[in-house]
Amino acid sequence: MPRFVDPDFELFLADPHALLLKYQNMITTIVRLYVKGGMFTQDELADMVQTVNLALLERVGSIRQNYNHSTLLRTYISAIIRNICRRQWQINPKRRALLRPLTDGDADQHEQLDRHGIKQSKLLFAAVMKQYGRHGPKLTICLKLRFRQPLTRSDILAWWPRCRRAELKKFLGHFGGDFEKMTDLVMYTTATPFFNAAEQKVNTDDALRKWTAKRIEEILETLNGSIPGAAFNEEALRILFEDSLSPFILQD
Amino acid sequence: MAKSRIFFDENGHLNDEGVALFVDALKLDTVNQIPEQIRRHVEDCAECKTSITGVLTLLEEEDYGDVQNHPTFKLRKRPFMQKVPPILRIAAIVAGVCLVAALAYYLVVWKGGVAENQVHLPSARAIPDSTAAPKKSSEEPIHARAEKFAANFTPNPEFEGMVQGGTRSEELTVVTPTNDADVRPAEAQFNWQSRSDDALTLIVYDNHGQAVFSVADTNPPVRMPIALEPGLYYWKLMNEEEGLHFGKFYVRR
């Protein structure tokens, strides 16, 4: 069976200018996102689109050489455009001064979500969670503990399929209902033996808290590093996470 | 399958094509088809997650719904589902669940003949009222009565397979009756020990599979309120989710 070759690449080989014309809407949308994020001014929009076009034409040779036909060309080109835009922002000190993300506590996180688009934020959060792969089920449990959301049987079995009934019942007895008033100390002290049994380890109570904190920090870095001008903190993460559990909290 | 090494740069992180491949997978819902080496790396790499999510952000308005083919992934064609609004999909799922629940209720409660919290009157196999006129022995041939009596002790093939030496649950220990125990008609008593406080449902069947007694939400010991006719009986203990014990005993005079 012949391997599928993206027709856009055939166009690119035949006539790179024609391909760029086809991708102009996409290129403009991407640059506009960076303008909205504060990395470029509105006045620079047209110039930046042109800069991107020229940079792509300069890279025709390297694209032909490096592109291995494993992805859709438009996605591959988008990754290159991202690099071009970030490079343009980094080399210009005036542009770096323009971008002053709000720090923690400076902005209401609902406002942050509104600003960047609730639908977009929800989709990106879901995409970030998917990237955790095998760690996803444990991460879900730890976020539920952190944000005091009741655990379910399926949460635990998704992570520990061989969990014994007695263990399952005991753990859900602590965290399957309302444990909002439980302190972090009591929560991690209660949860740690369960995690140790599942992972066949002997970790301290603090290890689980640190693992959770590290993952939250990573998720926030990923979101804030991906969305131009974003400054989400843990409160926004809590909102997005709770919405992912009950997808009617946030209105798109 | 694409060779994974072409997706990594000299620093061991995803290059542009590696990032693009993961983004394609997220857009096309084919994450499980990503080469394992890439998935494993991304699971533990914050930098690559940022790159992937960064490109994904830029393509938020790009519609990948029209993509029919991909160089690496096998795409499922589900045009109908893609056109159905999410709220209708949810409504369809809820309707399906209600239908299944109604069918299960019908099959278990009405067809099975066992309702919760009710003690069933015994079947005709129980010892009849002593004040009633005794059936004249001449009305039924002796050999017929003997055959009928023997039939009450014939094992039920289906139930025999369910009888176990022990219980399915580590929390439960059956005290009485043990399997194959002989019990007097008016002395059948069920006793068990459980580590949990859950109230259980107890059902007693004759050897034809008919329920002759049941009680729900009960704790041990449970004494039969009726005297069973001599024969082979099976009994089951269950909670809300599953059967915990299936045993058998004989009633003899």
Q: Which of B42, B61, B67 is closest, CB to CB, to A131? A: B42
What's residue A104's pLDDT?
Answer: 47
Boundary of a domain, candidates A112, A132, A152: A132
Average pLDDT over residues A213-237: 90
Q: Is A145:A191 a contact under the CB 8 Å cutoff?
A: yes
Q: Are residues A207 and A160 in the same domain?
A: yes
pLDDT at residue A123 tops 80? yes
Residue B237's pLDDT band (boundaries 50, 70, 90)?
A: confident
CA distance B214 to B236: 9
Residue A226 lies in a domain: no
Boundary of a domain, candidates A79, A97, A132: A132
Q: Are residues A185 and A80 in the same domain?
A: no
Q: Is B23:B59 a contact under the CB 8 Å cutoff?
A: yes
**Nearest one of B61, B64, B80 to B26, comparing CA atoms:** B64
Task: Using CA coordinates, name the residue in chain A closest to B23.
Answer: A75
Picking from A78, A86, A124, A168 by the largest number of B CB atoms within 10 A of its own CB, the best residue to mutate is: A78
Q: How many domains does chain A have?
A: 2
Average pLDDT over residues A129-148: 96
Q: Are residues A141 and A127 in the same domain?
A: no
Residues of chain A with C-beta less than 8 angstroms from the C-beta of B171: 165-166
* Phi and psi, residue A162, nearest 5°: -95, 15
Q: Is A229:A89 a contact under the CB 8 Å cutoff?
A: no
Cβ of A131 within 8 Å of Cβ of B20? The answer is no
Q: Is B253:B185 a contact under the CB 8 Å cutoff?
A: yes
Spell out the residues 6+ positions from residue B228 whose beta carbon is closer than 8 angstroms to its own.
Answer: B122, B125, B126, B127, B183, B185, B188, B204, B212, B251
Residue A246 lies in a domain: no
Residue B83's pLDDT band (boundaries 50, 70, 90)?
A: low
Residue A19 lies in a domain: yes
Provide the ipTM.
0.90
Q: Are residues A179 and A106 in the same domain?
A: no
Q: Which of B31, B72, B171 is closest, CB to CB, to A71? A: B72
Cβ of A6 within 8 Å of Cβ of B71? The answer is yes
Residue A225 lies in a domain: no
Spell out the residues 6+ positions from residue B161 whose beta carbon is closer than 8 angstroms to its own.
Answer: none
CA distance B226 to B29: 61
CA distance B116 to B219: 15
Q: What percentage of residues in chain A have a pLDDT greater than 90?
A: 66
Residues of chain B with C-beta less than 8 angstroms from the C-beta of A68: 2, 6, 17
Cβ of B20 within 8 Å of Cβ of A83? The answer is no
Residue A106 lies in a domain: yes
What's residue A121's pLDDT?
Answer: 86
Boundary of a domain, candidates A132, A148, A165: A132
Q: Are residues A42 and A71 in the same domain?
A: yes
**Nearest one of A116, A121, A91 to A102, comparing CA atoms:** A116
State which amino acid sits at residue A35: V
The answer to whether B232 faces chain A, any CB pair under 8 Å, is no
Q: Are residues A127 and A66 in the same domain?
A: yes
Q: Are residues A165 and A125 in the same domain?
A: no
The answer to whether B50 faces chain A, any CB pair under 8 Å, is yes
Q: Are residues A15 and A83 in the same domain?
A: yes
Residue A238 lies in a domain: no
What's residue B5's pLDDT?
Answer: 67
Q: Are residues A99 and A15 in the same domain?
A: yes
Task: Supply A26's token pair.
Answer: 């996409």
State which amino acid sits at residue A51: T
The answer to whether B195 faces chain A, any CB pair under 8 Å, is yes
Q: Are residues A151 and A178 in the same domain?
A: yes
The answer to whether B62 faces chain A, any CB pair under 8 Å, is yes
Lowest mean pLDDT among A78-87, A106-115, B5-14, B34-43: A106-115
Residue A197 lies in a domain: yes
Q: Whole domain around residue A154: which residue ranges?
A: 133-216
Residue A234 lies in a domain: no
Residue A197's pLDDT band (boundaries 50, 70, 90)?
A: very high
* Phi and psi, residue B176, nearest 5°: -145, 150
Residue pLDDT, tens place only, A149-167: 999 999 999 999 999 999 9
Q: What are the start-end ranges of the H helices in chain B? A: 16-28, 36-43, 46-58, 79-83, 86-105, 142-151, 157-162
Task: Supply B241's token pair.
Answer: 């989710």
The answer to whether B1 faces chain A, any CB pair under 8 Å, is no
pLDDT at residue A114 tops 70? no
What's residue B141's pLDDT?
Answer: 65
Q: Are residues A11 and A30 in the same domain?
A: yes
pLDDT at residue B169 tops 70? no
pLDDT at residue B130 tops 60? no
Q: Are residues A127 and A11 in the same domain?
A: yes
Residues of chain B with C-beta less than 8 angstroms from the C-beta of A79: 16-17, 19-20, 23, 51, 55
Residues of chain B with C-beta less than 8 angstroms from the C-beta of A169: 196
